[in-house]
Each structure stands twice: as structure tokens, then as C-alpha cells.
A and B are shown apart, each in its own frame.
Chain A
Amino acid sequence: MQAPSRRVFLKMLGGAGLSSFAGRRFHPAGFLWGAPSDDSVSRPMVRYPEKTDLILLTSRPPQLETPMKYFDRAITPNEAFFVRYHITPIPTRVDADTWRLHIGGHVEHDLRLSMNDLKTQFDKVSVTAVAQCSGNSRSRFSPRVLGGQWGDGAMGCAEWSGARLRDVLQKAGVKEGALQVTFNGLDTPAFSSVPDLIKSLDVSRILNDPNVLIAYEMNGQPLPLLNGFPARVVVPGWFADYWIKNLEEILVLDHPDENFWTKTAYRIPDTPCGCVEPGTTPQHTVPISRLKVRSFIAFPENHARLPRGNRVLLKGIAFDGGFGIEDVQLSLDRGMNWRRAKLGVDRGPFSFREWSFAWSPEVAGEYRILVRAFNRLGESQSEIPRWNPSGYQRNVVEHIEVVVV
């Protein structure tokens, strides 16, 4: 999607009472970027089964955030990968030998695939792809919004391996008139009034995309239970709400999916920028889909103190919704001048792209370091935060502050 149209851009500025700055690129004052909230409860580090120390968001169901220090590399370790469940209870015991994946609905043959079937009857393919929660960075929104108050760590990148979803659907034989395909996991709400977490994709979307997988491996290992063991849906380039974990059932529908989590939740304003004037309600909404361009500085950490005259290698990652990152740039002077970072290995268009940037600060003082990325379509990050009431798809230019001493 494109940067906000000039009209929306001006409206947003006007709404914030800042119209005098309109048209300027990167106002040096910097407050337009929206500082991390200083109001949030300080969140503890916790260690869950098969995971390392992660930042707790909620205990029940578990939601765990990856610390920024892991985003200095393209591949997020399985044990550090974020965890996001919606409903309780979640599965705590899964036996892959007795597990069966049901494929049914509007198909010729109802299938019940064992893990062995999945591994032997279909090609095994791998794709390196970013999973990012729609609400990643929600706590940075201003005005703030209700919902999981994630920092920036509800994202990760792994090499996913498994069967192509389209191969599995072809084996089942999609019938004429099929419209959408729903995914359901082993988590089933204890309260029957809570809608079960079911997500869907268009049949055409799946049949045309060889990268949509039923993944049973993550970085060459079985998935951690909290990341979807024994198998999860992987939709490279799209937000992670579609990536149903602990997958149990795939149903082909001959009518539109009317489930709560598709029809009511996970929707963004139907405007070119997916945003509305802060504090307002959109008139029309559409399901969230493709990831926006983002980039982060993982090293040094925010508020680091750096010795003057020493060379420091800044590191981080950038990603987009599947076109591929072409350029990452840094600014050491609040957006006046931008310099190119060095890009790491290209692991395909859906992956985190590592970048590094050597800097030898000569002058003591406080610095705000900005990072922005461009993908192959020329799309980049927004200069002022785009707002929507659910706190989705944040992609503002990111920054850290450091002190050179």
C-alpha cells in the first residue's frame, strides 16, 4: 500500500494541530514519531516451556514478547520467538503420532492426515518468512488504544518447512464454487460464548501462492508447542493472525467466512493508508493483510552510552510484505541527512533483511538515530504515525536515542 495521500497526510497533521509543518519531510523536533509510552506497567521477564526469557504480556492465555536484542540477526531463535494466544485453554499436551489434520467442507475427499502423511505424501518446501502480530507496537499509538499493549517484539523470522497448503487442498479436491478456507487450531474456548479462533483465506489466494504452507518445522526443528506444534499455517508476507497454530482443521467453504475473528476483529480502515484521523472511527473496514515496511535498530540498545571516538557497528533488521528490502538508511541528525546501511545476506523477499552501519561518533552529546527501509516497490515507512482504532500495522520511521560520552 502507498504512503498516505497528501490529503490524509494534511488532515492528520491538522488533527494533531501541527498544520504549519505540513509538507516538510522529517521535522527535526522529532515528537511526530510518537514516543514509547512512559505510562505502561513494567513487564517482567518470564521463562516458559521450550522458551528462553521473554517479556510477559499476559499469563493466561500466554502472550510473550521477544526482546529487541534478538533483532540484530535475520533468524529469530525458536526459543526467543514471540507467543500470542487469544483464548483459553490452550493445548498443553500434543501427541504428533495420534494427531490428525482434518481437511473437509466443500471438497471431493474428506482427508485426515497424520504427520507421516503430511511428510511423505507432499513435497517438503521451505520459506524464510516474518511472522508479525497485527498489533505489534500497539503501545506506541497516540492517542493510545485498547488491546494487547505490545512493545516492538511481537515479530520474528524463521525458516518454515512443511507441505504447501495448495498441494493438500488439491489432494482433497476443491469443489466448484469454493470461496474461502478456514483454519482452526487445537485451542477451544472454555466459555462457549467466546468465539473460537478461526481465520480464513480466499481459495484463490491459496491456490495461486506456492509459499503458503502447513509448516511442521521451524528453523529445522519441530515447532515449540507455544509456536504451534505439531503444525501451523504460514502465510508469508501477511500478518500473523492468519498463521493459525496447533492446526487441527481446514474447512473449504462455498460461502464467505462469517467468524468473529474475520468478520469483526482484525480489520483496518478501508482507506489508502489503512488509517483514519486519530481518535475517529472508520466508516468502512477491510480484513488486515499484507505487512508494511518496517525497520529496527537492535544494537546498540535504546539509551545506550557510547564512548566517543570508538567505532560502533549498528545492527538491525528490515522487512516488508514480500517484495523484498532494497535499501536501509540511517540518519544521525534527526532526518536531515540519510546514509546507506550495508545489507546482509538476502534470504528471500519474505525474510528479515539484516543490515549494519559503522559509526564513529566524534562529538559528545545526545543523538537520535533514525532508521528507514525501502522495498523493491519503493515503499517505505511513514514519517508521521498512522493511526487506526485497533492499533494495527504500525510502520512509522523508528529511532533510538543514545548518549556519546
Chain B
Amino acid sequence: MWSNILKSLLCKEEFLGSCRLNSRNKPGIRGPEWHLILTRWASIVLLAIVMTALLSAAEKTIQLPPDHPFGKLKSGAGVEVVEDRCGVCHSTDYIVTQPRRDAKQWSTEVDKMIRVFGAPVKEREVKIIVDYLVSSYGPRQERPTRKAK
């Protein structure tokens, strides 16, 4: 890749100094094209500076993408409360990727978020959140257990 960039900065066929020779040989071209040669050299110096800065990697800055839509909560009664209360510390993919849990299990989990991590959930919101979680991510209707082949 770098060799290509370098090439594009140089003469079509050969390296800077030798352009002169080349252009001389070509009909209709009198001498070296100094302005071109100078801009090309300047670009090379600039590129070298940028590359050393990149390669020394003293500083790294990254930009993180926004929450991915796959983690979006299903619609349902109380979903706004869950989005508000359960989406502040982490994206809601934490919730949608979990195995299905029953009322007792979800209520233990919500309790853990409040007690252990200090989730800012008001007393009356607990039931709304647990009800939502059970109806959206609660146990499925009876389904046959996976059989081994």
C-alpha cells in the first residue's frame, strides 16, 4: 500500500531526479518540471511526519458506536420505564440476550441491580419493571425439549 502511495507521488516511470532524464528523452518536453518535483518532495516529507506520528502510537483515540439496535427492548407495557431505569449503566442488550427467566428470577435480578449496583429505581417502579421483563422475556409456553440426534 505504501509503495503505491509513494509511486503516485513520484514520476510515472521513475524516481525524482531521473525524471529529468526521462522527460528529456520525450519529445516536446524541455527540462525538468521543477514545480512538480518540489510539490512531490513536500508531500513526501509531510507523509513521513504523519507516519511517524501514527507509528509511535503514543496517543490513541477511538470513537465507540452508539448502542446497536439488536439490543432494543421489545415493546410492551412499561417498556419506557425499563429503558429509562435499566439503560443508564449499560445497553439493554444485557437484558435481551439473557435466557428467559421467571418472575422470581427477574425480580432477584432487578433487586441485585438496585442493591448491589445502586440502580436508581423507585419503589413503585420495581413491579412495573419486573412485570415487563416477565411478559417480554419470561418463560415460554411449553415447548418440546431439544432432542439429541
Contacts and interface: CB of A to CB of B under 8 A. Distances in A.
Contact of B97 (A41, A60, A96, A264): A41
Given A48-B65, A95-B58, A97-B59, A59 B149 contact: no
Given A39-B99, A194-B89, A226-B62, A59 B68 contact: yes
Contact of B57 (A46, A96, A193): A96
A95 B89 CA distance: 26
B117 A193 contact: yes
B66 interface: yes
Contacts of B58: 95-97
Contacts of B88: 191
Instruction: Point out which of A29, A59, A144, A189 has the most chain B C-beta atoms below 10 A from its C-beta.
Output: A59
Given A44-B70, A56-B68, A146-B109, A95 B59 contact: yes
Nearest to B68: A59
A123 interface: no
B65 A96 contact: no
B117 A56 contact: no
Nearest to B101: A146
A97 B93 CA distance: 36
A146 B70 contact: no
B100 interface: yes
A280 interface: no
Contacts of B117: 191, 193-195
Contacts of B146: 35, 38
Nearest to B71: A59
Interface string A42-53: 111010111000
Nearest to A30: B148
B90 interface: yes
Interface residues of A, number: 54
A401 B148 CA distance: 12
A191 B89 contact: yes
Interface in A10-57: 29-31, 35, 37-44, 46, 48-50, 56-57
Contacts of B89: 87-88, 189-191, 194
A264 B115 CA distance: 13
Given A94-B59, A149-B98, A31 B148 contact: yes
Interface string B55-94: 0011111111111101100000000000000001111011
Given A30-B148, A58-B93, A46 B68 contact: yes
A59 B62 contact: no
A44 B109 CA distance: 25
Given A29-B148, A30-B148, A94-B60, A37 B99 contact: yes
A272 interface: no
Interface string A133-169: 0000001000011101100000000000000000000
Given A56-B93, A96-B57, A44 B99 contact: no
Q: Which of B60, B64, B88, B89 has the most CB of A within 10 A?
A: B60
Given A90-B64, A97-B58, A195-B117, 20 more contacts: A35-B146, A40-B97, A49-B64, A50-B62, A56-B93, A57-B97, A58-B91, A59-B68, A60-B90, A62-B64, A87-B89, A95-B59, A144-B99, A146-B99, A149-B97, A191-B117, A222-B57, A226-B62, A366-B149, A401-B149
5 contacts: A35-B146, A49-B62, A93-B59, A93-B61, A146-B101
Interface of A: 29-31, 35, 37-44, 46, 48-50, 56-62, 87-88, 90, 92-97, 139, 144-146, 148-149, 189-195, 222, 225-226, 229, 260, 264, 366, 368, 401
In order of increasing CB-CB distance, the 9 nearest A-B pairs are A193-B118, A31-B148, A49-B62, A144-B99, A60-B91, A59-B91, A95-B59, A93-B61, A59-B67
